[in-house]
Structure 1
Amino acid sequence: MEILILKADEVKAAMPTGDGIAATKEAMAMYAAKKAVVPLRSNLSAAKGQALFMPGLVEEADALGVKIVSTYPDNPARNLPAVSATMVLLDTETGMVKCLMDGTELTRMRTGALAGAATDLLARKDAKVFLLIGTGGQAMRQLESVLAVRPIDTAYVFNRKLEKAEAFVASAKDELASYGASLVPVSDLDHATGEADIITAVTTAKQPVFDGRKVKAGCHINGVGAYTPQMIELPPEIVVRADKIFVDTVDGVLNEAGDMIKPVNDGLVTREKIANEIGDAVLQKLPGRERDDEITLFKTTGSAVYDVVVAEKIFRFAEEKGIGTYVRV
């Protein structure tokens, strides 16, 4: 038996951004149509850390696998990452392992593709100004995915420390030069928030990261970073103001996303306003944007359905392109 090994740079090189967004839309539709089997993730606590196992099966996409994520806070002292991830893909016909790929880069790609797909479905077609809030490990793929689906002229990049925003922009300018957008580092959000046609927040903040009152009519917002009940990056004002809210999975968002849970618990919005899955917009069971002045919002906490479907696509592209190394076992 041979297993294809894909390192982080090979995962990134295998699949173009546009194909990742298309694969994510397929996964959204399959999940909404109840064609995906996604058991609850298992969390095992060891003496020095935690290991999470996130399985998924989408037979229609020939996608079967499990993403393993380990969090070991003491690892940096050993020159090892505190958080690591590996995706294990299996053959749906035989159940044999066929690929091991870097799960960290996969997560960045599929999370970026989620926001890109939602932006493509919900943002105004003539959106020109983008605001990216956060410059961490997810940020580059978040920026690229929006540039891939809308004709962005100006992309503001925010970090509280301007030098970090400037360093991110410097690295992004070469990698994303083909999109032709002007990348502008900022440390003051008020002007950029009011000008933006699209806003993506990708932080681990526990307090809102922008002023929801300053968001203009017609804006689309992606809430990507907050993934626990304690994390809140989206202001409650924008949850209230949004004309339409879509989520990747209702169960995930209403159990894990503090910036959605708190407005419901505080009585600011109803659960029903938030309980709309983006896959139903893909399937046209629910309308997406209907007017230019609507404020639309997409919230994601992630799901193994996106990991397995996107990973399967990456595997196929890698095989076609001769990327990666086969190991006989």
Structure 2
Amino acid sequence: MQSVTLDADGVRAAVSMREAIDAVRRGFVDLAAGEFEMPTRTVMRDGQFLVMNAHHRATSTAIIKTLSVNFDRTPAIAGTVVWAETGRTDTLIADAGAVTTLRTGAAVGVATDLLAPADAGRLTLIGAGGQAADQVRAVHAVRPLRELTVVNTDPRRAAALLETLAPELDGVRTRTAADPEAAVADADIVCCATPATSPLFTAAALPARVHVNAIGAFRPTMRELPDELLADSAVFIDEREAILQESGEILHALKAGALAEHDLTELGTALTAADVPRGSRTVFKSVGVAMQDWAVARLLAEKFLGDRLP
């Protein structure tokens, strides 16, 4: 029996953002094809404790992720992702914080690659917490950035994020801002990565052509996007059942009549469609699903357990 344990640095060293994006893209396609057994996650204490699991039928592999979330500490996410296979006793245990931020960024990379304008190069990121860096890395991997604006209520935190990312953003013009309304006005892509409970900006503040990713709100009590934006956009989601249970902005828009359930397109379905319906504005709303964790864990298993899965 082989058992491998990876801390956050080990996960980061082993998996690049480009690898994660490709793996999560394949995962979304398999999810749309019904290849996953994936219950909606167990939520305790209004999202402070989460348990997620997914079984990939084609490979007889599975993951279980347990974590706690506390935005008042660093890192905000703590826990483990455990990889298991039918017929093998080998296991892999990986840091949940690193896997979660990497796979969330990768999902945004998949959506941005599919939905953002081909010439998009100006990103406004709202939020400078633990998810923020991988949001930038993912967008930059699929739409090389010319400009990056980081919006945060604490300008020192935004500046620290830009300093961390500087070696990866050679030639990119960067700035910090405090006002989301002004900062999104000339963006091609907007990423929202905050624990907000009310919309971060108005729909009118956005340009006519823009792609918006929203990953921060993962409970019905949380909300980053206004109803008017969702009503005026082609809206893509990670997984319907999870979104209808957990996405505050989608639930609010449905209740207000700004959206109908048939307006929501799962990303996996869009990836395999011959033609993807888009308007001038597109939105990707994610609450995060266990398939994404499985996709990154699969990469780790291939590297550290010697797996060669179909």
Same fold (TM over 0.5): yes
The answer to whether structure 1 residue 283 and structure 2 residue 275 are counterparts is no
Q: Is the partner of 1:135 in helix, strand or coil? A: coil
- 1:326 corresponds to: none
Match of 1:148 among 141, 149, 155: 141
The answer to whether structure 1 residue 259 and structure 2 residue 259 are counterparts is no
Q: Where in structure 2 are the equivalents of 1:45-124 lying within 5 Å?
A: 51-60=49-58, 63-70=61-68, 83-94=77-88, 96-124=89-117
Q: Residues 81 and 24 (structure 1 numbering): CA distance in 2 closer, same or farther, change over 3 Å?
A: closer
Q: Where in structure 2 are the equivalents of 1:165-204 lying within 5 Å?
A: 165-174=158-167, 176-178=168-170, 180-204=171-195
1:235-272 per-residue CA deviation (whole Å, 9 max, x = no partner) reads 11211111x11100011111111111101101122221
Q: Where in structure 2 are the equivalents of 1:290-305 lying within 5 Å?
A: 294-305=280-291
For 1:219 and 1:16, the matched residues in 2 are separated by 27
Instruction: Give the drift of 1:167.
Output: 1.9
Instruction: Give the drift of 1:232.
Output: 0.8
Instruction: Give the drift of 1:163.
Output: 2.1
Give the counterpart letter for 1:199 in structure 2. V
Instruction: Give the drift of 1:15.
Output: 1.1
For 1:255 and 1:32, the matched residues in 2 are separated by 19
Give the counterpart letter for 1:304 in structure 2. A
For 2:70 and 2:192, the matched residues in 1 are separated by 26
Q: Answer yes or no: is the 8 Å Cα contact 2:123–2:188 preserved in 1.
A: yes
- 1:323 corresponds to: none
- 1:26 corresponds to: 26
1:111-151 per-residue CA deviation (whole Å, 9 max, x = no partner) reads 00011110001000100111100000000001100011002
1:162-216 per-residue CA deviation (whole Å, 9 max, x = no partner) reads 2221122122213x235x4222111123332110000010111011112211211
Q: Is the partner of 1:220 in helix, strand or coil? A: strand
Q: Is the partner of 2:124 in helix, strand or coil? A: strand
Q: Residues 282 and 92 (structure 1 numbering): CA distance in 2 closer, same or farther, change over 3 Å?
A: farther
Count of matched residue pairs:
305
- 1:232 corresponds to: 223
For 1:30 and 1:125, the matched residues in 2 are separated by 25
Instruction: Give the drift of 1:65.
Output: 1.5
What percentage of aligned pairs have identical amino acids?
Answer: 31
Q: Residues 51 and 258 (structure 1 numbering): CA distance in 2 closer, same or farther, change over 3 Å?
A: closer
Q: Answer yes or no: is the 8 Å Cα contact 1:62–1:312 preserved in 2.
A: no
Q: Answer yes or no: is the 8 Å Cα contact 1:132–1:155 preserved in 2.
A: yes
Q: Answer yes or no: is the 8 Å Cα contact 1:63–1:309 preserved in 2.
A: no
Q: Residues 286 and 260 (structure 1 numbering): CA distance in 2 closer, same or farther, change over 3 Å?
A: farther
Give the counterpart letter for 2:243 in structure 1. V
For 1:102 and 1:4, the matched residues in 2 are separated by 11
Q: Answer yes or no: is the 8 Å Cα contact 2:40–2:241 preserved in 1.
A: no
For 2:144 and 2:290, the matched residues in 1 are separated by 30
Give the counterpart letter for 1:214 in structure 2. A
Q: Is the partner of 1:194 in helix, strand or coil? A: coil
Q: Answer yes or no: is the 8 Å Cα contact 2:146–2:173 preserved in 1.
A: yes
Match of 1:126 among 112, 119, 123: 119
For 2:150 and 2:59, the matched residues in 1 are separated by 36
Give the counterpart letter for 2:257 in structure 1. G
For 1:112 and 1:34, the matched residues in 2 are separated by 23
Larger radius of gyration: 1
Q: Is the partner of 2:195 in helix, strand or coil? A: coil
For 2:49 and 2:76, the matched residues in 1 are separated by 12
Instruction: Give the drift of 1:24.
Output: 0.7
Q: Answer yes or no: is the 8 Å Cα contact 1:61–1:309 preserved in 2.
A: no
Q: Residues 268 and 71 (structure 1 numbering): CA distance in 2 closer, same or farther, change over 3 Å?
A: closer
- 1:327 corresponds to: none
Structure 1 length normalisation: TM-score? 0.86
Q: Answer yes or no: is the 8 Å Cα contact 2:75–2:130 preserved in 1.
A: no
- Pairwise CA RMSD of aligned residues? 2.3
Q: Is the partner of 2:66 in helix, strand or coil? A: strand
Instruction: Give the drift of 1:318.
Output: 4.3
Structure 2, unpaired ranges of 5+: none
Structure 2 length normalisation: TM-score? 0.91
Give the counterpart letter for 2:129 in structure 1. G
Instruction: Give the drift of 1:7.
Output: 1.0
